[in-house]
Amino acid sequence: MTTAHHVPGETRPGGRTARTRQAVLTAVFQELGEGGFAGLTMDKVAQRSGIHLATLYRRWRCPEGLVCELLTELSSDVPLPDSGSLPEDLRALARSIAAFYGEARMSGLIEAVVSAAARDPQAASVLRSFFGERLALAGRMVRRAVDRGELPADTDPEELMSALGAPFYYRILIARRPVDRDLAESAATAVWAAARAGAYQAKETDGGPGNGTAPGSG
Residue-wise pLDDT tens digits, 3-51: 344 444 444 445 788 899 999 999 998 888 788 788 889 999 999 999 9
Q: Is the pLDDT of residue 216 over 70?
A: no
Structural domain boundaries in the chain: 16-60, 80-196
What is the rounded average pLDDT of the residues 70-99?
90
Q: Is the pLDDT of residue 214 over 60?
A: no
CATH of domain 80-196: 1.10.357.10
Q: What is the CATH superfamily name and number for domain 16-60?
A: Homeodomain-like (1.10.10.60)
Q: What's this model's pTM, rounded to 2 decimal places? A: 0.75
* Angle, helix 157-169 to helix 181-196, in steps of 10 degrees: 150
pLDDT at 114: 87
Find the range with the poorest average confidence among 72-81, 105-114, 149-158, 205-214: 205-214
In percent, the amount of the chain with pLDDT more than 70 equals 87
pLDDT per residue as tens digits for the range 150-170 = 999 999 999 999 999 999 999
